[in-house]
Structure 1
Amino acid sequence: MSSGGQLPAEQPSGDSVLSAGARIAMQWRDLGADQLGAALRAMEPELRREHRERMMHLELRREAEQRQHEDRQQQRADRRHTVEVAVGAVIALAMLGGGVYVAPESWWLSVLLCGPSLLAIAKVFVLGRSDPEDMKSMSMAARTATNAAGQAQPPQSPPVL
């Protein structure tokens, strides 16, 4: 034992750069093998407890970092969805406004802008998916409107006086 009645491991160490194992080895270098073995066996439960505490602390930190990462991903997904809904709404309103604006001159163009294509575009931006049925209905509406426009009589111009 060292002076002061303390075990070498209990003595304060001014050298914080050395690892705990190196400090213990330096403090206990004068002890015999039997005394060193007994001291290490006595320290083992405390070292195990400190190790468990360090491992729990590291696990808690890892879980907190994982939660922060998941929260950031969720915020990005929410922000992206909000932008997609806003863009879809703007495009849908623009198509609807354009369809109403051109309706008196060319009804077939109004059908193209306000028909199934409007719903398909809104579905793509808001829900983020497009089904083959949407494309079929959109192409059928476009074909029907184009055929009707081709068969329609051009508007008569007013007589010149």
Structure 2
Amino acid sequence: MQIAMQWRELGAEQLKAALEATEPELRREHRLLMARLEMQREAEQRRHEERREQRAHKRQMAEVIVGVAVAMLGAGVYVAPRSWWLATQLCGPSLLALAKVFVLRRSDPEDMKYLSIAARSSTSAGSQAQPPQPSAA
């Protein structure tokens, strides 16, 4: 429209020539704009796909963590009548250490020291509370 306003004093032939001269540049600008929009759309699609993959990974890791914790608790309850010390290891400090590592996503250097102390104390407490086994004579 601007071109038409500028060239209105000229005849139809000169206006037609001017419009034909600007048409290739307008086409280039249009192609450039379309390419830029396509690149933005593809970038947005990649970001969306990455976010979806991250959510899927987080959900999968949460399922694994819950599965391991439930398996440890179930195994601890199952073996409790036969092996009290193994039950204390499965349901006690090791389960808490596992939860700390996966839920809080950190592990301090002293964690293993505290874990071994807690395991020893739970084992010794379990051995004191356990009645003596009847001897098979």
Identical-residue share of aligned pairs (%): 41
- Compute the TM-score of the two structures, normalised by the length of structure 1: 0.59
Aligned in 2, Cα 1:46/1:80: closer, same or farther, shift over 3 Å?
same
Which residue in the other structure is 1:46 paired with? 23
Counterpart of 2:29 in structure 1: which amino acid?
A: R
- Compute the TM-score of the two structures, normalised by the length of structure 2: 0.68
Instruction: Render the CA deviation track for 1:95-125: whole Å, top value 9, x for unaligned.
Output: 0011112223333322211123213323444
Which residue in the other structure is 1:62 paired with? 39
- Of residues 132-141 and 81-90 in structure 1, the stretch that sits farther from structure 2 once superposed is 132-141
Is the CA contact 1:96–1:113 (under 8 Å) kept in the aligned structure 2? yes
Aligned in 2, Cα 1:143/1:73: closer, same or farther, shift over 3 Å?
same
Is the CA contact 1:116–1:134 (under 8 Å) kept in the aligned structure 2? no
Count how many residue pairs are aligned between Structure 1 and Structure 2.
Answer: 121
Counterpart of 2:75 in structure 1: which amino acid?
A: G
Unaligned runs of 5+ in 2: 1-12
- Of residues 46-55 and 72-81 in structure 1, the stretch that sits farther from structure 2 once superposed is 46-55
3-state DSSP of counterpart to 2:106:
coil
Q: Distance in 1 between matches of 2:43 and 2:113?
A: 44
Aligned-pair CA distance for 1:129: 1.9
Aligned in 2, Cα 1:49/1:96: closer, same or farther, shift over 3 Å?
same
- 2:88 is aligned with 1:114: no
Q: Distance in 2 between matches of 1:51 and 1:102?
A: 76
Aligned in 2, Cα 1:82/1:120: closer, same or farther, shift over 3 Å?
same
Aligned-pair CA distance for 1:57: 0.5
RMSD over aligned CA atoms reads 3.2
Counterpart of 2:30 in structure 1: which amino acid?
A: E
Counterpart of 1:131 in structure 2: which amino acid?
A: S
Counting helix residues as a fraction of each chain, which structure ranks higher? Answer: 2
Look at both structures and tell me which one has the larger radius of gyration over its CA atoms.
Answer: 1
